[in-house]
Structure 1
Amino acid sequence: MESTTRTKSPQVVEGWTGRLFEDFAIGDIYYHPFGKTVTQADNQNFTLTTQNVSKTHVDANFGAKTEFGRPLVNSTFTLALVTGQSTIDLSMNVFANMGWDEVRMPAPVYEGDTIYSRSKVLALRESKSRPNLGLVTVATEGYNQDGTVVITYRRTFMVYKKGFLPSVESSRPDESSLPAVEGSR
């Protein structure tokens, strides 16, 4: 198979930089692109790091004797994971999270489950106290590999408006001080 070459001059291509307030519309649905298979290490590390002493998360022998027959994944891990999955689509340019409401866990998550998520934009409004920001409210669901919804919640966050996002260039090193990209001369 022959390789094709592009005749266009090489250029620096900026990566995805996230949405700003004006990029959202009520009713938009985002299927977040990354799934995550939850491991025993994820569950135990998160549970122990947060000093949660529930045996149902870290004691497999205890978990085996419950009606579930195995350990349950820490529900706050599930909340953190699904919130994290949504960041690429919703809140890369967040100023602050304002809150999570109506958090529900309709089905358990087990070690070995793969979690996916999606969000729907419910409300938008400009900030009254910060003219450079807008508030976005979304409904988010996390679901497992079988399509079973395992978490639902509403989240409101403040996000920058166009023209007000702090410069990315000012937060990274001067590119002239970086070594050449491998393969270039």
Structure 2
Amino acid sequence: MSTKKGWSGRYFEDFEVGDTYFHPMGRTVLSADNSWFTLLTQAQSPVHFDHYYASQTEFKRPLVNSTFIVALVTGQSVTDLSQNVFANLGWDEVRLPAPVFEGDTIYSKSDVLELKSSQSRPNVGIVKVLTQGYNQDGKVVLTFKRSMMVYRKGQGPSIPRPEIQA
């Protein structure tokens, strides 16, 4: 038997404008996710954690905290886009075209829009993507453009792996 190297992510040179990545992991949003995230971030709108209050709104149920969805979809994209990130530069044009409810399952995809060399750091390049989050019905619930500095091959830190002792 041979040892197989695990996925170590893409480097700047691995991206091409026009590439589309369907990120592999979906995630069902639980009531606990919504309540905890809302309370941990002190975004204390009762529409996110008070079911009785939310039942009196036009949606008749709690809305999922939108910043949780931004964080979730960003996290879903890491394995394809930013596992070798030097730094995130920003999220632009964040749009929330449809609500997310507890029990919805969120999936995501990203399209590479632009690649350019960094003027200040020769060991990284700048990758700009358009990312969409969508629910189990295929309805888009989030879009944003994200820019990040990604290491060039052989220019980033390595992940140390200790030897296993028998």
How would you bin the TM-score normalised by the shorter chain?
over 0.9
5+ residue gaps, structure 2:
none
1:113 aligns with 2:104: yes
Letter in 1 for 2:107: Y
Q: Equivalent residue for 2:114?
A: 123
Q: Deviations over 1:82-104 (max 9, x none)?
A: 00000000000001000000000
The CA deviation at 1:179 is: 3.9
Query: In the aligned structure 2, how far is the partner of 1:14 from the partner of 1:68?
Result: 47
Secondary structure of the residue that 1:45 maps to in structure 2?
helix
Paired residues, what number? Answer: 166
Query: In the aligned structure 2, how far is the partner of 1:168 from the partner of 1:71?
Result: 41
1:92 aligns with 2:120: no
Q: Which of 55, 68, 77 is residue 64 of structure 1 equivalent to?
A: 55
Query: In the aligned structure 1, how far is the partner of 2:109 from the partner of 2:42?
Result: 29
Secondary structure of the residue that 1:76 maps to in structure 2?
helix
The structure with the largest alpha-carbon Rg is: 1
Letter in 2 for 1:54: S
Q: Moved runs in structure 1, 4+ residues, more than 6 A?
A: none
1:24 aligns with 2:15: yes
Q: Deviations over 1:141-167 (max 9, x none)?
A: 000000000000000000000110212
Query: In the aligned structure 2, how far is the partner of 1:41 from the partner of 1:53?
Result: 15
5+ residue gaps, structure 1:
1-9, 181-185
Query: In the aligned structure 2, how far is the partner of 1:122 from the partner of 1:87?
Result: 17
Q: Deviations over 1:109-160 (max 9, x none)?
A: 0000000000000000010000000000000000000000000000000000
Letter in 1 for 2:42: Q
Q: CA RMSD in A?
A: 0.8
Query: In the aligned structure 2, how far is the partner of 1:12 from the partner of 1:51?
Result: 46
Q: Which of 35, 40, 45 is residue 31 of structure 2 equivalent to?
A: 40
Letter in 2 for 1:162: K
Q: TM-score, normalised by structure 1?
A: 0.88
**Which one has more relative contact order, counting CA pairs under 8 Å at least 6 apart?**
2
Q: Deviations over 1:29-54 (max 9, x none)?
A: 00000000000001011111101110
Q: Equivalent residue for 2:127?
A: 136
**Alignment map for 1:102-181 (pairs within 5 Å):** 102-169=93-160, 172=161, 174-175=162-163, 178-180=164-166
Secondary structure of the residue that 1:46 maps to in structure 2?
helix
Q: Equivalent residue for 1:54?
A: 45
